[in-house]
Structure 1
Amino acid sequence: YMTGEAMFYMPSKLLDREVVVVVLQYRLGTLGFLYSGTIDAPGNMGLMDQITALRWVQKYISNFGGDPGLVTLFGQSAGGASTSLLQISDLIRGENKNNDGEDLVHQFIPMSGSALEYWTIDNNIREDFITQVESTGCDTNGMEKDMVDCMKALTLDEVVIASLKVFMHDRMTGGLGFLGQCPVVQDALLDDPDAEDLELVIIEQPLKSLRAGHFLQVPTMAGAVRDEGLMVVGVIYDYILEKNGLENNTFFMQFEALPLLAKAFGIHDPTNAVANSFRLAYMPENEVIDNWDIMSGPLVDLSGVLFVKSGTWTLAHRMHMQNNSVPIFIYSFEFESDDSIFDWIFIDNPDMPIHSGVCHADDLLYLFNMPSYQNDRELEMARRMSTLYYNFARYGNPTPEEVADEPGQWQEFTKEWIPYSADGQEFMLLQDDFTMQKDFTTRWNYNKYEGIKNDSSSDKSIRARSDVNSRNAEQETTNGGGVSQQTFILGLFLTVVAVLFIVGMATVIIIRAGKKTRRIQDDDLDIMMISKH
């Protein structure tokens, strides 16, 4: 929810199909999510930007060949969380007075983020609001309105710099960096007479909404990448261990690393009972857990569960238990290549002793035209991914029977994608081969299910995986021009993706069919409408 912009999500790979793609812009950081508990700073402004864009689509997308009755919303990371939060919001439903009787979205794809992650909702509202105000130099002793008025008098640069300082300080002290700069539950405004005309995006805790069946019950596709925790562990190493000379501190690694991780994800653990349970579940047996090389692999797995995977599984399970007739498709993206977002983000620390693996956001490389050279193997993965995403947007099913016999369709590379069920907990494993598997929780602990080995010939901890085709597949080499282009764009990306762990990744709308390409300037939005000719 802090950085990012639509220009980095060029949807050319998706536009080989009969769809219109709209990449949304929304306000970030303090400007998008400051919440005072009053109408002066009502919170969730960034989510309201997304809802405004969806309403715009309903009104105008038919002018560009799109079908307003078949809209799929998908996002990744904070975009995935936003997608999931909107699915439980009353503001996208047809019965809302501003929606002309039509639901704004008909299918959802939250990727590597959901409404149930710890970082999705700020539950420390008052303290985090005061922290934001203090960071700008405004007086915190007055009323909320006075504090917000003081902040409004500042320049844009002053507000943004202050919010980034809060973010950086929180990370360096073991936090995730959100502190008043993410979505909130706006229940405090429900009984405020001054907020009577204010649209409230989130009025109760997301888990409560799911338990009550209070969400748009439509086809949903959700999942995570293999090594979601790489981003978390990279940040821990870069911000805390290396800067404080702790990477080889035996005492710290044995007694402080896991409690620090638990605290970062909001787990109150004064006796270290949870941290010790983590150690028993994730650390290699018969190993002395006293250095970074041994611990990094298990930390990646554990961090991935805390960061994304547990929330994603719970989201799917709760939705299914409320209505098992609506399909929920789950995936684990485990396609490893030489190109990874991890290497871009930590480009200033190339000797970090962490194998890049399949990092948070690596799946976006195969859906959008991001700055990377792709060999034949990677281009084939992009074709497969775009096929599944198009099918889901068109049919509400990534492997629909209607097109099974058509050339270039899903039957050429996979079998039918079976929706999640409580008994089988089915999910699609996306590697070089696409295969149906059971029990998504088997992707939570690779030490337990597939093993971890330490490569003595390298300082890096190498994690053994079943995806041997991915790791050992022959890689094509780029020409000089390709390398130069990639190096240039890595530098360009650094300011945008350097904090990708909490980045406000893209939220994207796919609308079936399209005939035009043009840019529209609306009063509230600047949207690129791109469609199939």
Structure 2
Amino acid sequence: CLKWPFLCVCLKLGVVNTEGGMVEGKTIRLGLLRTMDVFRGVPFAAVPGRFEKPKPHPGWDGVMKATAFKSRCLQLDITLTNTLGSEDCLYLNIWVPHGSSVSTNLPVMVWIYGGGFLAGASMGANFLDNYLYDGQELADRGNVIVVTLGYRVGSLGFLSTGDSELPGNYGLWDQQAAIAWVHRNIRAFGGDPSNITVFGESAGGASVNFQILTPHNKGLIRRAISQSGVALCPWAVNHNPRKFAEEVALRVNCPTDSRMAACLKMTDPSLLLFPEPIVNNLILSPVIDGDFLPDEPSNLFHNAAEVDYIAGANDMDGHIFTGLDVPSVNNDIVETPIEDVKRLLGALTKEKGQLGLENAYSTYSSDWGSNPSWQKVKQTVVAIETDYIFLIPTQTALYLHAEKATTGRTYSYLFSEPNRMGGLIAPFPIWMGADHADDLQYVFGKPFSTPLGYWPRHRDVSSYMIAYWTNFAKTGDPNSGDLKVPVAWPKFQNTDHKFLEINAKTNSESVNEMLRLRYVHFWASVFPKLPSQRSADALQ
């Protein structure tokens, strides 16, 4: 309650009645006549059965106190030697802002976390009780409801035999169950069920794309934002899931015949999690199961024809991975050999053999001149992985969405605010742009909630992203809403491919078109037409 003489105004939802029962969160005061209700740990499904789709929660008696985050889904810890979390993890968190009256009919933004389909949590990383995915700043500044959800990861979320025994995609079904729960229940929290935006980053960005492509979400999602990840990324779909399922079975002493699925379901879940997938290019990922994904993602964009869509990448998204593949890239006093560049390109183009390598190398070295600087070579290596892993697939997804769209609008961005650690500590060279996940802190308003850790320009970046993102959630147009933006962001159309570059200096000159056209043309047009290695060998 906010009290003045002779007046008491209670700006809170109090007990909210959901389909499973009554829940009560915590009300926090944000300022004069502005409060927020926060609900942590609201169940959206029952404790999931091993390798089964989520089921409705059986409900509860009395009032559930929803004031603490629930456990993350069972996964490996950061050391890759122990596990943390629980199989009882299908919960979501809700932030509801109130102004001079209790909110009604607010737009809803549902966040799907990343983590390579192997790790992650609905609340994100935590430092001194400051959670990365705390929705308070975004909800308050944008005047939207923010929801974050939990979903199964690793083997428990994505292990598949490629058939009906273990069909896979359990984590995607969890996400879908949470979105459907929000659609059915969010009105009781002051939200508009007809205006739901799903947004996410990395594997979460790809998940967002999967959620608008599946036929199972028809009518549930109005808008979507994919940050640094789409369904077309080379790591987003596993086309040979049984091979890894058999490796898991052998590791835990299960047979690899018709008894495999039953045995795996009875195995200690912690034994099903081990670190090999990380070094095997994220092979635990969604599969074409004929159900959630009835076809290749590129053939499903008609399902998103009425969904407004933003997708983009960070300008050095690939840096975090390049440091593993070509370690010298992060050492400014050591040269990166040209042979290392060729080795990396050879690995990415191996299906096309020597011809693929030669074409790729000539494309990426075309602006080097006769004597490229060390920095130029290192930046090229980062660009190669950024293009291949994130940027080119994202551009392809944007093209397909714009091509199939009826009422849905399409927007493209490049995030390029330089990494805050650039030049200060390894492995962040002085020339660093925006690394993978650098955008998260700005979307969730960390420069405002922890101001001592940021400069004023970082608050500018955060205000821009919150404005564009929440305007889009409200209207389907990032320029139109309650918050002012630094420059109008034009739609992406197949005639011009316009995009917005987002950083602290975003202005009228930040609007461009045909992002990295030479490289998009190579990977999307030239490379696929080259004969495969197998075809070339057959001709000899």
Q: TM-score, normalised by structure 1?
A: 0.66
Tell me: CA distance 1:299–1:445, structure 2 relative to 1, closer, same or farther (3 Å).
Answer: farther
1:378 is matched with: 458
Displacement of 1:351: 5.3
Displacement of 1:261: 3.5
- Asked if residue 269 in structure 1 is aligned to residue 368 in structure 2, the reply is no
Q: Residue 13 of structure 1: which of 137, 162, 175 is its match?
A: 137
For residues 170-208 of structure 1, give each alpha carbon's deviation from its aligned partner in whole angstroms, at most 9, with x where no partner exists: 2xxxxx2x22x1000013xxxxxxxxxxxx211100112
Name whichever structure is richer in strand by fraction.
2
How far apart, CA to CA, are the structure 2 residues paired with 1:335 and 1:445? 22
SS of residue matched to 1:397: coil
Q: Residue 439 of structure 1: which of 508, 513, 529 is its match?
A: 513
Q: How does 1:293-442 map to 2 (within 5 A)?
A: 295-323=377-405, 325-339=407-421, 350=426, 355-368=431-444, 373-400=453-480, 409-410=484-485, 413-414=486-487, 416-431=488-503, 432-435=505-508, 436-442=510-516
For residues 498-531 of structure 1, give each alpha carbon's deviation from its aligned partner in whole angstroms, at most 9, with x where no partner exists: xxxxxxxxxxxxxxxxxxxxxxxxxxxxxxxxxx
Name whichever structure is richer in helix by fraction.
1
- Asked if residue 184 in structure 1 is aligned to residue 287 in structure 2, the reply is yes
% identity of equivalent residues: 25
- Contact 1:88–1:209 (8 Å) recurs in 2: yes
- Contact 1:117–1:311 (8 Å) recurs in 2: yes
Q: How does 1:166-181 map to 2 (within 5 A)?
A: 166-170=276-280, 176=281, 178-179=282-283, 181=284
SS of residue matched to 1:359: coil
- Contact 1:109–1:220 (8 Å) recurs in 2: yes
How far apart, CA to CA, are the structure 1 residues paired with 2:220 and 2:407? 21
2:300 is matched with: 209
With a CA cutoff of 8 Å and minimum separation of 6, indicate the structure with the bigger relative contact order: 1
Displacement of 1:29: 0.8
2:309 is matched with: 220
How far apart, CA to CA, are the structure 1 residues paired with 2:457 and 2:145? 27
RMSD: 2.9
- Asked if residue 229 in structure 1 is aligned to residue 309 in structure 2, the reply is no
Displacement of 1:377: 1.1
Displacement of 1:32: 0.3
How many aligned positions are there?
Answer: 386
How far apart, CA to CA, are the structure 1 residues paired with 2:175 and 2:251? 27
- Asked if residue 158 in structure 1 is aligned to residue 271 in structure 2, the reply is yes
1:460 is matched with: none
- Contact 1:324–1:421 (8 Å) recurs in 2: no
- Asked if residue 33 in structure 1 is aligned to residue 143 in structure 2, the reply is no
- Contact 2:318–2:386 (8 Å) recurs in 1: yes
For residues 27-59 of structure 1, give each alpha carbon's deviation from its aligned partner in whole angstroms, at most 9, with x where no partner exists: 001100111133331210000000110111112
Q: Which runs of 5+ in 1 are unaligned?
A: 94-102, 171-175, 188-199, 449-533
For residues 369-401 of structure 1, give each alpha carbon's deviation from its aligned partner in whole angstroms, at most 9, with x where no partner exists: 55881221111211121111110011111102x
Displacement of 1:169: 4.3
- Give the AA of the match of 2:511: Q
Tell me: CA distance 1:157–1:355, structure 2 relative to 1, closer, same or farther (3 Å).
Answer: farther
Tell me: CA distance 1:396–1:293, structure 2 relative to 1, closer, same or farther (3 Å).
Answer: closer
2:340 is matched with: 253
- Give the AA of the match of 1:226: D
How far apart, CA to CA, are the structure 2 residues paired with 1:45 and 1:364? 25
Q: Which runs of 5+ in 2 are unaligned?
A: 1-116, 125-132, 523-540
For residues 109-134 of structure 1, give each alpha carbon's deviation from its aligned partner in whole angstroms, at most 9, with x where no partner exists: 11111111111111123323323333
How far apart, CA to CA, are the structure 2 residues paired with 1:251 and 1:419? 39
How far apart, CA to CA, are the structure 1 residues paired with 2:329 and 2:417? 29
